Amino acid sequence: MQAASGTKGGSSGSPVVDCQGRAVALNAGSKSSSASAFFLPLERVVRALNLIRDCWDAFGIKSESVYIPRGTLQMTFQHKGFEETRRLGLRNETEQMVRLVSPAGETGMLVVDSVVPEGPAHKHLEPGDVLVHINGEVVTQFLAMETLLDDSVGKEVNLQIERGGVPLTVKLEVEDLHSITPNHFLEVSGAVIHPLSYQQARNFRFKCGLVYVAEAGYMLSRASVPRHSIIKKFAGEDIENLDDLIAVISKLSRGARVPLEYVKYTDRYRNKSVLVTIDQHGWYAPPQLYTRNDATGLWNAKLAIPLESPFVVSHRAGHMDANLNSVSPLTESSPMDLKCQHESENTADGCVKMQTDEEIAVDGSHSGEDSIIEKKRRRVDEEIAAEGTISSFGDLDDIKDGALRHPSSVEGSDLARTISSNASLAEQVIEPALVMFEVHVPPICMLDGVHSQHFFGTGVIIYHSDCLGLVAVDRNTVAVSISDIMLSFAAYPIEIPAEVVFLHPVHNFALVAYDPSALGAGASVIRAAKLLPEPALRRGDSVYLVGLSRSLQATSRKSTITNPCTAVNIGSADCPRYRAINMEVIELDTDFGSSFSGILTDEQGRVQALWASFSTQLKYGCSSSEDHQFVRGIPIYAISQVLEKIISGTPGPFRLINGIRRPMPLVRLLEVELYPTLLSKARSYGLSDNWVQALAKKDPVRRQVLRVKGCLAGSKAEKLLEQGDMILAINKEPITCFLDIENACQKLDQSIDSDGVLNMTIFRQGKEIDLIVGTDVRDGNGSTRMVNWCGSIIQDPHSAVRALGFLPKEGHGVYVARWCHGSPVHRYGLYALQWIVE
């Protein structure tokens, strides 16, 4: 029923009453563009109510569940006027008969609009058929048709129709609508998959029961499988129903990459094929099968696959291997001391074993196998000494002679890329060290304010040996450690997984590890780049900007340094996330745009800087903002220093990398955000001429002084340094740039008697003050703990939150990184732990 009642949204479900207060309809919807509202008649509601009452009366108590018969022929009708039915071929005598037996005022008849494939009416009825009789009774209204079908579930009905003026009689079996309405679904890696319901089958023109993706979740969305897809094949096997899909999943191990074919209703005649990576790191629980319990109204969950299936066994084995893997502490062996003992026990699918929270420890324990480990240490030391820490792809003389080719004697060299002689010398040398990143962040692990779930970027291999490969990349490509990373190599056509092993807390770079054994024959044609941290780049120097296109083609151009020491100034985003602070970057006269990342090399292909992508947020007015990125060069010395510590085995927290526990370096920091001020401005603030001259003499290029923008909450400098302080000297040595402070912090680590404090001279409100300021030691792990509770993600306050300058006193609080919809807790809120517990 339609009425001009002008009801608004939110009133659906309310009763429609007559003048005597009797409910006659249900408010079902309205048109926002007009005052029209639509009311649902109550005849079928009364039928359902009576069936429930009869059931209760029969049992004497309220039954837990009541069956309400619903019949269907898996087809839809439309009510069309007699003028339209005549055009469809309805005979005059049939129309006259219908008018005669129908109630006064009847204006039309029911016409078949659609038929669901492989349903009861499929191949029997067609769109345009005019319904005349059901079981000998003239039916022209939906209510009468529904009544006949609901009362005939499991029985056959005779339909008399006219098709183009030709009378036809068909016999169809009425199907139970409940049987084709899903009462169970599969949840795997965040995806919700269930048999295709009648309602969606009618919309999509597919048959009921097909495997339907209601929500893609993480695993399927990572492979670009959209919602509303129909899965046709998985891992090479045909998928006809949900049981087929569960059977295939139970055979797969975590980390396996298998093909999946699907079809979309918008493009039903073409199957699409993608590669799906089975949840490797255990971000999600094993597949769960949820079944609706009509007695309780709840959905009961159970494990969808057997406990002995490879999917579950591989998940448990990964944790067991991590717990069983133990090595001597760093005093007995360095990270490079352990040769790849996992080569013989590596996983069959070539996937890298990844680290779990339990595998991070600041200290190790003696395993009782000192002699064995010592032998391994000596053997690996010899190999590292012979191999060197970094190497170029080929000899420079070979490159000058012509096109650079991989040695034909190497197995698989026919797949290695031949580098054109038209490319620059730097491009020819460095291309075998370039890597394309594809990074996915699971939705349930959106920590540290990460602003996207999908990233692309270019990295450079800085270490490559038989048991470990390391790649440097910017933190706008690898933002958080909880990521799924796939590497594609420019030198060899292969894609392998990788893991984050180091996130620099200040500088905009991360180190990612891969397993060289997963490269197969490609391991011998891939090389690490040569790093050239000294001499530092200067204004006017020529460099080569080299990177990769999405097709893994190396691209380069010769550019000139316009400014080698521009201070980065990135403001806080609406959602606090990592931003580069206290670092200088390199600017070029020409580049390839804001989305092109890569490296800067000299003419011989030696890496002098990482051409990195930086994330920022542009704000428009008071309320709107937009994510933005730009590219600048990061001098390679910072990366080189971390690499040297990893190779030398500097003490630090252990990480499990390629099945071996290795110590990662710690970083000593002055946790203060600084910014440069010109000496001419500093003089106006009252800085003495002596200090102006001393700072200008120390650094005649920059001619600046560093000022305090703010201290990170919870840092040792928080109570000592104030906003606006000018840092003049550390240990009586003038300070003019961020590198000076980093070097002062590194000297503390090198000193045996160091107590971790800096003797600083600052200028505050017209006075010179000497202070003893403590430093903080941070690791490169990023956030390692979180609580996922009712859809909310709760973690410790990360550095970007601490940079805002506040932490609650009670245990420094917890940070709500993401929240579930409907929760009164504000996103990005910081709450005292005690308050949350209460």
Mean pLDDT value across residues 664-672: 94
Checking if the pLDDT of 339 tops 50, the result is: no
pLDDT at 380: 35
pLDDT at 295: 83
Checking if the pLDDT of 122 tops 60, the result is: yes
Higher-confidence position of 394 and 698 = 698
Checking if the pLDDT of 560 tops 80, the result is: yes
Contact at 8 Å (CB) between 471 and 460? yes
Q: Classify residue 362: in a domain, yes or no.
A: no
Q: Classify residue 329: in a domain, yes or no.
A: no
Q: How confident is the model at residue 261 (pLDDT cuts 50, 70, 90)?
A: very high
Half-sphere exposure of 806 (CA within 13 A, CB side): 7
Q: How confident is the model at residue 438 (pLDDT cuts 50, 70, 90)?
A: very high
Half-sphere exposure of 274 (CA within 13 A, CB side): 17
Between the alpha carbon of residue 634 and those of residues 500, 578, 585, the distances in Å are 19, 16, 5
Average pLDDT for the chain: 84
Higher-confidence position of 399 and 429 = 429
Mean pLDDT value across residues 601-617: 94
Q: Classify residue 330: in a domain, yes or no.
A: no
607/603 Cα distance (integer angstroms):
10
Q: Classify residue 283: in a domain, yes or no.
A: yes
Contact at 8 Å (CB) between 485 and 438? yes
Do 820 and 762 share a domain, yes or no?
Answer: no
Backbone dihedral angles phi then psi of residue 534, each to the nearest 5 degrees = -130, 145
Q: Classify residue 346: in a domain, yes or no.
A: no
Active-site residue flag, 597: yes
Out of 157-166, 357-366, 606-615, pick the least confident: 357-366
For 47-99, what is the HEC assignment?
HHHHHHHHHHHHHCCCCCCCCCCCEECCEEEEEEEHHHHHHCCCCHHHHHHHH
Q: Would you mind telling me the total number of residues written for the chain in this entry?
A: 838
Do 492 and 617 share a domain, yes or no?
Answer: yes
The 10 Å Cβ neighbour count of residue 316 is: 12
Mean pLDDT value across residues 630-647: 94
Checking if the pLDDT of 626 tops 90, the result is: no
Between the alpha carbon of residue 33 and those of residues 16, 137, 231, 586, the distances in Å are 21, 40, 39, 56
Do 188 and 307 share a domain, yes or no?
Answer: yes
Question: What range defines the domain where residue 699 resides?
Answer: 667-778
780/485 Cα distance (integer angstroms):
17
Whether the full predicted model's pTM is greater than 0.75, yes or no, is yes
Taking only the tens place, the pLDDT of each residue in 745-779 is 999 988 888 889 999 999 999 999 999 999 999 99
Do 114 and 262 share a domain, yes or no?
Answer: no
Checking if the pLDDT of 340 tops 60, the result is: no
User: Residue 207 sits in a domain of what CATH number?
Assistant: 2.30.42.10
pLDDT at 3: 84
Taking only the tens place, the pLDDT of each residue in 576-600 is 999 999 999 999 998 888 889 999 9
pLDDT at 345: 36
Backbone dihedral angles phi then psi of residue 496, each to the nearest 5 degrees = -135, 160
Do 595 and 618 share a domain, yes or no?
Answer: yes
Q: How confident is the model at residue 167 (pLDDT cuts 50, 70, 90)?
A: very high
Checking if the pLDDT of 45 tops 50, the result is: yes
Residue ending a domain, among 663, 694, 717, is 663
Active-site residue flag, 504: no
Do 92 and 206 share a domain, yes or no?
Answer: no
Do 654 and 746 share a domain, yes or no?
Answer: no
pLDDT at 254: 85
The 10 Å Cβ neighbour count of residue 123 is: 10
Beta bridge partners of 256: none
Q: How confident is the model at residue 409 (pLDDT cuts 50, 70, 90)?
A: very low
Q: How confident is the model at residue 8 (pLDDT cuts 50, 70, 90)?
A: confident
* DSSP one-letter code for 345: G
- Rg for the chain (alpha carbons), in Å? 35
- Per residue in 692-705, is it b (16+ CB within 10 Å) or e — as a string? beebbebbeebbbb
Mean pLDDT value across residues 721-727: 96
Residue ending a domain, among 59, 90, 105, is 59
Do 46 and 99 share a domain, yes or no?
Answer: no
Between the alpha carbon of residue 411 and those of residues 287, 391, 428, the distances in Å are 40, 20, 21
Q: Classify residue 328: in a domain, yes or no.
A: no
Tell which residue, 806, 339, 411, 784, has the closest CA to residue 572: 806
Checking if the pLDDT of 399 tops 50, the result is: no
pLDDT at 506: 93
Sign of CA dihedral 404, 409, 411, 412: positive
The 10 Å Cβ neighbour count of residue 799 is: 23
Contact at 8 Å (CB) between 639 and 667? no
Mean pLDDT value across residues 390-398: 41
**Residue in this structure with the two tokens 């590596």, named with its chain if needed:** 346
Tokens of 575: 């959602």
578/315 Cα distance (integer angstroms):
31
806/276 Cα distance (integer angstroms):
43
Tokens of 610: 């990482």
User: Torsion over CA of 192, 194, 196 and 200, rounded to 10 degrees?
Assistant: -40
Tally the domains of the chain: 6
Do 454 and 568 share a domain, yes or no?
Answer: yes
Do 40 and 99 share a domain, yes or no?
Answer: no
pLDDT at 811: 73
Out of 17-26, 209-218, 350-359, 437-446, pick the least confident: 350-359
The 10 Å Cβ neighbour count of residue 772 is: 10
Residue ending a domain, among 178, 196, 227, is 178
User: Residue 529 sits in a domain of what CATH number?
Assistant: 2.40.10.120
Do 152 and 192 share a domain, yes or no?
Answer: no
Do 634 and 674 share a domain, yes or no?
Answer: no
Beta bridge partners of 171: 158
456/454 Cα distance (integer angstroms):
7
Contact at 8 Å (CB) between 353 and 320? no
Taking only the tens place, the pLDDT of each residue in 347-386 is 333 333 333 333 333 333 333 334 433 443 444 344 334 3
202/117 Cα distance (integer angstroms):
9
Q: Classify residue 358: in a domain, yes or no.
A: no
Q: How confident is the model at residue 314 (pLDDT cuts 50, 70, 90)?
A: low
206/118 Cα distance (integer angstroms):
9
Tell me whether residue 768 is exposed, middle or buried, using C-beta atoms within 10 angstroms of its C-beta: 0 to 12, 13 to 18, 19 or more: middle
Contact at 8 Å (CB) between 242 and 186? yes
Q: Of 483, 597, 613, 715, which residue is the catalytic one?
A: 597
Tokens of 96: 């006259």
Beta bridge partners of 262: 231, 272
Q: Percentage of residues in the chain with pLDDT exceeding 90?
A: 63
Half-sphere exposure of 222 (CA within 13 A, CB side): 23
Q: Classify residue 758: in a domain, yes or no.
A: yes
Taking only the tens place, the pLDDT of each residue in 270-307 is 999 999 998 878 888 889 999 999 888 899 999 999 88
Q: Of 315, 342, 464, 798, which residue is the catalytic one?
A: 342
Q: Which residues contact 338 (CB under 8 A, 6 or more apart)?
A: 327, 373, 376, 377, 380, 467, 660, 661, 662
413/751 Cα distance (integer angstroms):
49
